[in-house]
Amino acid sequence: MRTFGRCAVLVGVAGFVAVARGGHELPIYPSFYPHEIEIRTLAPAQGSDALRGGKIQAYVGDGMGFSPAPPNDIRAIESLGSFIVVRVNPDSEIARDEASSCAALKSVVRTLAEQTDFILHPYPVTPLHGDYLHHADLAVAAKARLAGDAAARDVKIKASGRFAQRHPDWSAGGTDWDAEVVEVDAAELMAAAMLSVDGWLAPPWLKAGWFQAERLLADALGDDARKQRADADLRRLEAQDFTGLVERINLERDLVTTLTASCRKIVAGYTVKREYVNVEFSAGIENIGFDSIAGLHSPIFIRTVKLKDFPWNGWLGLGIASAPGAAWNPIGGMTDPFGRLMGFAVGDPALLPAPYETGWMLNRIADLPADAGQ
């Protein structure tokens, strides 16, 4: 396949040059950020060749593979790949009661557990979420419930993508299916809720597991009482209507418990995404920061990556699978993967999503006490 698009972004050319008394510039520059970033649209096969040859230093996105294994100078960066969601067809006979729905979902999930790249985790907050420790006991309990005995039954399964390829019998179409297996890209789920306005990224709870659980499962809350309870918890969390950390965590747990109380739709587990970088000297990069959910497709990567070939600045080459397709204007926004990556390169928000937590970190500013004397 040929290259579909290319974009070069100039970022802060060399910053400042300080003058010494002897008439020479100082040996240390204020920044080692790349002063030029080239983003190239490359298919995964093209990307692997460009990565090996040092034409790019990183490939942003999933889908690239190396057989039998990547070269020594090519390293994998791991982050949350996708949620595997299983839902019951509301028009199916198995949806007539909760017990029947639970038995059908257990059957499907046990089949999924045989996949080599599938991590069984029947709870929407994963170990890759920064707030997982607030939910760890609930996740263990959910897995224990799934392990219980269930009556075997035939389930007509509808699937798409790689699951349909691996299971040709999962081809039920139209309305003649009992359960559907859906793969939801975790980074895209987060990006779909992200706003970038006047140098700010929002909302504050963008990376929280409870927030992503609500986006995944809220549409299956058929019971009015459960729906009202989930809506009330969500409103309080978003309005910060709580008195302290303990009450906030209990609200988050209560929301996810309500969302997972039904067998109409569940998160069965997740996959791990692997993105590749070149770490060879001198064509590679180092000091690589990445996000536990978005991986390399995050502001922290652009803010931390350093080229090995230069003590400061330099030319950074990135590959990405998707071609530009968004409006790239203040109304339509840079909402496609290519545009968001370019936005991370040229934007300079005051706060960045913390790489491994649900909170935020300061960018280019420091939180100093009033009496610091500066």
Instruction: Please provide the average confidence, as pLDDT, over all residues in the chain.
Output: 85
User: Looking at residues 299-306, what average pLDDT do you find?
Assistant: 90
342 domain-assigned: yes
* pLDDT cut 90: percent of the chain above it: 51
Residues 64 and 149 grouped into a single domain: no
Please determine, for residue 115, whether its predicted confidence score (pLDDT) is greater than 60. Answer: yes
Asked which of 242, 271, 300 is the last residue of a domain, the reply is: 271
pLDDT tens sequence across 208-227: 999 999 999 999 987 789 99
The contacts of residue 288 (CB under 8 Å, 6+ apart) are 58, 77, 277, 301, 304, 305
Determine phi and psi for 149, rounding to 5 degrees: -65, 145
Distance between CA atoms of 286 and 2, rounded to whole angstroms?
29
CA angle (191 as vertex; 185, 192 as ends), nearest 5: 90
Asked which of 228, 251, 271 is the last residue of a domain, the reply is: 271
Asked which of 271, 290, 313 is the last residue of a domain, the reply is: 271
CATH number at residue 122: 3.10.105
pLDDT tens sequence across 31-72: 557 888 999 999 999 999 999 999 999 999 988 888 778 899
Domain that holds residue 138: 80-271
pLDDT tens sequence across 187-211: 999 999 988 776 678 899 999 999 9
Please determine, for residue 246, whether its predicted confidence score (pLDDT) is greater than 90. Answer: yes
pTM score, whole prediction: 0.87
Closest CA to 123 of 270, 272, 267: 267
Stated length of the chain: 374
Helices (H), the chain: 44-52, 98-112, 136-146, 161-166, 186-192, 209-217, 224-238, 245-259, 299-304, 337-346
107 domain-assigned: yes
What's the total number of domains in the chain? 2
Determine phi and psi for 373, rounding to 5 degrees: 75, 25
Residues 246 and 316 grouped into a single domain: no
Residues 171 and 123 grouped into a single domain: yes
Please determine, for residue 105, whether its predicted confidence score (pLDDT) is greater than 80. Answer: yes
374 domain-assigned: no
pLDDT tens sequence across 315-326: 899 999 999 988
